[in-house]
Amino acid sequence: MPAMACCVDPAAANFPPTYATAVAGPGSLTGLLIPPPTSHVEACHWSPTCSSELYKVDGWGAPYFAVNGSGNISVRPHGASTLPHQEIDLLKIVKKVSDPKSSGGLGLQLPLIVRLPDVLKNRLESLQAAFEYAVQSQGYEAHYQGVYPVKCNQDRFVVEDIVKFGSPFRFGLEAGSKPELLLAMSCLCKGNPEALLVCNGFKDADYISLALVARKLALNTVIVLEQEEELDLVVDLSKRLSVKPIIGVRAKLRTKHSGHFGSTSGEKGKFGLTTTQILRVVKKLEQAGMIDCLQLLHFHIGSQIPSTALLADGVGEAAQIYCELVRLGAQMRVIDIGGGLGIDYDGSKSTESDISVGYTLGEYAAAVVQAIRFVCDRRSIKHPIICSESGRAIVSHHSVLIFEAVSASVYESPNMSQLGFQYFVDSLSDEAHADYMNLYSAAIRGDSETCLIYADQLKQRYVDQFKEGSLGIEQLAAVDGLCDVISKSIGAPDPVRTYHVNLSVFTSIPDFWGIGQLFPIVPIHRLEQKPSVKGILSDLTCDSDGKIDKFIGGESSLPLHELEGDGGTGTGKYYLGMFLGGAYEEALGGLHNLFGGPSVVRVSQSDGPHSFAVTRAVPGPSCADVLRVMQHEPELMFETLKHRAEECCNDSGNGIGMSALANSLAKSFRNMPYLVANTVASSSCSLTAATMNNNGFYYCNEDDEYNAAADSATTAGEDEWSYCYA
Sequence-distant (≥ 6) Cβ neighbours of residue 153 within 8 angstroms: 159, 391, 395, 582, 583, 584, 586, 587
3-state helix, strand, coil in the chain (%, to 5): 45, 15, 45
Sequence-distant (≥ 6) Cβ neighbours of residue 30 within 8 angstroms: 24, 416, 418, 421
**Is 62 buried (19+), middle (13-18) or exposed (0-12) by CB count in 10 A?**
middle
- Return d(Cα 198, Cα 185) in angstroms, integer: 11
Q: 10 Å Cβ neighbour count for 12?
A: 10
- Return d(Cα 703, Cα 700) in angstroms, integer: 10
- Return d(Cα 724, Cα 487) in angstroms, integer: 55
The answer to whether 435 and 460 are in contact (CB under 8 A) is no
- Return d(Cα 587, Cα 628) in angstroms, integer: 19
What long-range pairs does 39-48 form, CB within 8 A, spacing at least 24? 42/530, 43/530, 46/528, 46/529, 46/530, 47/528, 48/527, 48/528
Q: Give strand ranges (E) for 214-300.
A: 220-225, 247-250, 294-298
Q: What 3-state DSSP class applies to 236?
A: helix
Sequence-distant (≥ 6) Cβ neighbours of residue 160 within 8 angstroms: 187, 190
Q: What is the DSSP letter of 681?
A: P
The answer to whether 150 and 175 are in contact (CB under 8 A) is yes
B/e letters for 160-170, b = 16+ CB within 10 Å, e = fewer, are bbbbbbbbebb
Q: What is the DSSP letter of 206?
A: H
Q: Hey, which residues are catalytic here?
A: 542
Residue 37, preceding bond cis, omega within 30 degrees?
A: no
DSSP annotation string for 304-341: S---HHHHHHHHHHHHHHHHHHHHTT----EEE--S--
| Alpha carbon 699 to its chain's center | 24
Q: 10 Å Cβ neighbour count for 45?
A: 9
The answer to whether 518 and 556 are in contact (CB under 8 A) is no
Q: What is the DSSP letter of 567?
A: G
Residue 619, preceding bond cis, omega within 30 degrees?
A: no
